[in-house]
Every structure is written in structure tokens, then in C-alpha cells.
Structure 1
Amino acid sequence: MKKHLFPIVSIIISIAVWLFAYKHLPAEMPVHWGVNGEVDRYAPTFSAFLLLNGILIAVYAMLLYLPRIDPKKDNYRKFTRPYSIIGNVLIALFLAISIVTVLSGIGAPVSINRVVPVAVGILFIILGNYMQTIKPNWFIGIKTPWTISNDEVWRKTHRLGGRLLIGGGLLFIIEPFLPRNISAVLSIGLIVVIVVVPMVYSYILHKRIVGH
């Protein structure tokens, strides 16, 4: 039951914040911000309430049930604590987005284009620290045909991926405080590096280790 406490409490807090502030919210809520920090998409308040709280519930359900349907489900027992920590940090990220959206809706002086990159940066740093403890599975980590098919490729790719996530996370934290033209390019570049480099590395490593 202990492992369910943080996700359940987070969902309750998010719903409670929305209900408490609901009568003070405008008819339409901002639900998406562009790279320049300006709102570029609105949704009816009730739809925004359902969307953001629904995401929290869906993430919790996903974290709960994915290990049960994974063909490599036995490996989850080897990284139970890291899996729980990563899941809780992910829940915390969406809780923060939900609360900041409400604060923005009631006119509080919050800057979501600063809060979200910092929160994502913290998520990346924590994920990077635990990346090497994640055992082969189909849902969490760097999943390519080459990491899934070879444990050594998985281990070495996740060691590199962990370092990239930590470095990228630190840059994400400082990115919102840079000039906007620089921060936009930096954000896109970081995502490309963090995603593409481990994929290419896993292919090269597989060719070197397996030989075909």
C-alpha cells in the first residue's frame, strides 16, 4: 500500500485544487504554451479539469499495470525501488503542471514556460541517476531492437543514456533563464541528442558485440 500513497495523494491534491479554485477560473483555460511562452491553445475549463486530472490517473494506471503485461515482467523485481521513484517523479511532474495551470487560470504570476522546463530537468536528472539500474523490459528505458535483444548492449546504452539525461537535465533547468531564441534552439537540440544518440550508439554497439 505504501507504494500507492504518493500517486493517490497527488491525484487527490490535484482534484482538490481544481475544485477549490473552480468558481474563480475563466470559461476557458490555457492548456498549451508555445516556445515563446505565449498561450497558443485554450480549452473549456471543465475539459481542462478532465484532461489534466485524467492524465494523472492514466499515468498512475499505466505505471501500475505495465509490469503485469510486460513479457519481461520478472525483471521488474530487480529494480522495484528505482521504478517506484521514477514513477513518483513522473506523477509529481504532472501534478505540478496541473497546479500551475490552475494558478495561471486565476491570474497568479506564474510562468509555466519556466516551471515546466525546470521540472522536466529535475525529472531527467533523477531518471539519469537511476538509468543504469533499469533492467531489460519493454516499457521503461531506452528500447531499441538492439538493446532489447542483448543485455550487454542494454546495460552500456543505459549507462550512456543516464549521463546524457543528467547533463540534459542540468541544461533544461537553466534554459528558461536564457534569451528566448537561444532557449528554443537549446530545448530542441537537447531532445534530439538525448533521443538519437543512444539509439545510434545501441546500433553501433550491437554490431560490435554481436557482429551482425
Structure 2
Amino acid sequence: MLEVNLIRTLVFYSVLMVGCVNNQKNETVDGGLNKSSADTLPMTSSASVKEENILFFGTSLTAGYGLDQSEAYPALIQKKIDSLKLPYSVINGGLSGETSAAGKNRIDWLLKQPIKVFVLELGANDGLRGVPVAETTANLQAIIDKVKSKYPDAKLILAGMEVPPNMGDKYASDFRDMFKKLAKKNKMVFVPFLLKGVGGVPKLNQNDGIHPTAKGQQILAENVWIKLEGVL
């Protein structure tokens, strides 16, 4: 049984190259902003309550690969926010195949709109490609610095990820610790592992064994909401 579980875990992580852009149902516009979000950017008037933006910036895990936009965890969090009548509007800035280096270049476009809360989910693709942890760290820090510089009052949240043991014990350990250190350094609210309860569980992932099902996305939403709720 241990061997079966190990093989299942290695298969899950070895193919968790969060790419496959061509098959994604979630269409995106320039800058990787999902159309559903782009079409509903907060519009305010003197008669309405001003909504603050929450930007989710990440890979296809955030974009909701293979699912309807309404089933991605940022959209599920929007439903929670609406049910509580909180004045926040979610923007899904997830993009399949995103690396930390690509994200560093893309973030400027998304920061053209005011951000009150920033949720960063990047790094998984770097890890599976064996990108040096120091390089990924520098890229993620650059993204965080850009957000801080433009919106110094924004609340920051970091979602941690992990790589499979076949990447080497030291690399896996350094990669895991990278997120914790970045969160501490930048005083970010920390979600230790976005895929907790979902990664490696067949029934919670699509047929590719990589991306969460709608049910899996619900668990991702809970993993994030546990930390986000206190921020809001």
C-alpha cells in the first residue's frame, strides 16, 4: 500500500506542470485576466458601496483549468464574500503554465487596477522544472515588491506549494521552506499548502490526475478562506 501511495503521489506531482493552455475552458484576455473577471471589473457610483479588489495571481490551479469559471476557487470565494455582504470583488488572475519569471513580467498589467488584497499562488511550475530555489525566491520577491510599491496598504497572502520527493530531499525541503520564509519576511498571511486534502487524491482530481475537480476546487477555496476570512 505504501508503494502504491508513493507511486500515485509521484505521478501526481511529476505531471503537475500546470500548463495545458490549449484545452482550458477558462478563456483569458491580455495579461491573463479571466474574461469573466475582466467583464466585471468594479464599477462604482455615488449610489453604490465602493468595492475593493482581491487579486488572485497564480497558475491554472487558480484559473480553474478544465472547469467553468464559476467553479474555480476564487469564484467560490466570491460567493462566500457575497453571502456575507462584504464589499470585495474578486479578480481571477490565474494563468495556465505560469512560472515565477513569467509572473514577474505579467503582474504590472494586472496592477493597473487598485488592489486591496493580493493572493499569490506561484512556484509549482518552477519546482517541477528544477529551477533553483534562489531564482524562484528572487522572482516571487520581485512580484511582492511590485505590489507593495504600488499598493503599500494592500494585505498580502501567500499560498505554499510542494514538490515530489523525486526532486531530491534537499530541493524539496528548500522549496517548501521558501514559501514560509517569504511569508515571514514580507509579513504575509500564509496558506502552508494550497492543495491540502486534494493533491494525490484521485476522486478530487480530473482525469489527467493533475487539476482539481469542482469538488477539489471547493476544498482549495476552504484552504484559502480559512486565512482570507480574517484578513477581510
**TM score, norm. by length of structure 2:** 0.25
Which one scores higher on RCO, CA 8 angstroms, separation ≥ 6?
2
**Structure with higher helix content:** 1
* Greater per-residue strand proportion: 2
Q: Between Structure 1 and Structure 2, whose CA radius of gyration is higher? A: 1
Normalising by structure 1, we get a TM-score of 0.27
